[in-house]
Structure 1
């Protein structure tokens, strides 16, 4: 495959590395999905895709960025897969079939991954645009197979489908990076040992995996909505990928209220994205956002999805209740005019069906808006006394805000400074530091 204009000797190595990172962030799931469909072996597909990525990190800074980077990665990944099958058995019938396809399909991306004139052709085994969506859904359901633990399902899907690094997955779970890496390795070995097929499961098997799939999409969106680490406040591309997959999921399981509830939550939350950052990328908090910039089309889609969840007649689950909370924000003209009493009730319902310390922190915030900070502070203090959310910046940041509103500036500053030290996101950490400094 020939390199693009300006590639070759003298190409900026940093530009080549940045190109690898950009292509992988956008195309990782498509590449792994296409390779999994091609080989019929999900763990192998992820391994050879990683090998292709490693090869790109060496070749592109040296030789320049290929004209079709995704095709380059797929071609290299396919060759590594054939090498793997050759190692398993020189006479394996699957290897022979794959090699035959490679010979006939060289024009798809070039017999040589870096040779001239490559990039044209149509090998439908690898890059069929009509099947990309099914590939990604298959990736989701395979990664959420019941043979895996819940932690392994989420970690593997975030890594393979979401394109998150092991460090980002670890930050999302508040666990060490080696723990996440071990989970992913064990998950791939388990899938291989169980001979899990690469496919969207039949309807009878979807229900038992649906909860994990929904949770995975929720975590991916949360990481995109507010990045757990790094310099960027948001990773909107990652969040929008979760929205896109959630839209596909409701078409696959239209009778499931929680699928519609999750889609509603993601749409209503993503509607605020245009107003969540300033020109310099700095966070703009809810109270300061220009609501005229909110995406009204996304709000309409979210409310329609919530109505479909309610319309199933089976009641709202955790995602539907969160969507109902997001709807209250979406329809309110301002923070002051928000129906905070309604939000408190919804958080109470959410706490009953899906109890967690994070839900209680958010309920305390809603109570502070409905009844004042003095009513909310005991709720937060009780969580702190119980040792819940230790190591998370969330609890001290909320406690600091409540203390500041009560005029207890010295205590508030200490809490906000603690929250800033615990916060992994540079932009959000800056917000907390400025709030602490403003207290004098």
Structure 2
């Protein structure tokens, strides 16, 4: 038997409605912020990620799924969403006067990284992301972080902390990079193998190491906040002032560096304080990437964004015992008794569906008892029954499952105006009648 590839998961029908719920909540929040959807390809030119994410990052050097296609083009499955959005921004001239400025977009979809699969992290994983392009205003940083917090709140996720930091401008990072090398070089033999490799390639990544020996050495390392230019200091201070003004709790953590090379100035992570999902406790991560658009070949354009992993969101919701969404029941379930009712059952479910109602029926000519069980599992509001006698009389038995009321309708009446009959059976008009009678 051919099985799914390692690091991938099937999202089955009994789980997919939870994913749809998460997506719907995110989209509703984005509507309030006027953040519009963008959909970009799941594979791009390898050079796009090499140039934007960074050739020395683990994402590009070790984790990316890349391949040569039949035209000898070097492609890669997208490991993250920002680079593709920026490429689209440039290619489609979304910086033109006919487009919103800043341009605020979101995406939802699969990403791919060759990592060791674990809880909350797969080789094919799914992200909800936001990119805001065109403004250096620190208010952009704050409202984008606020939108991420709103999504978590609306999903019922609790016990989270917003951590922020600043990476400064490129020249600030160069100075800080050298300071880290000067600090860690005498301690190189004490570092983990991974950190020894990263030390000269990308020393900021040493700060992000999960190795306990590395963590002990990082405690006394210089911090980026001591190397910020006046411009970056001012921007970071305004971000903190605005968060405080909005009463959004936060903590400054100078050890946050993020794993992608394009970040500068404000970066952030939203972490769950519930340790039940282990090391994968970061739910949201992102920051400012002024300079990335120019790096890819576009005009000078500032940007800010984030991504949240859907697998981790759902895992956290379950671990926190949140009230998970349930599938809605169907409006109509049609039961046919005998194969001769097949055509009538087909007409009834299609008539219901044409009126915008959800409907299902039995396809296997099962017993009445079995069909009632199925109707119960589907949480049907109304059950319609057609048997031999109903076929002769041209009628249908309609039962309201909530109150047990059963009514006989003419088949022609249902087929002509199904929705009116549905409302008659499901809407309690007694309160309305009392109101108009003045009772």
TM-score calculated relative to the size of structure 1: 0.27
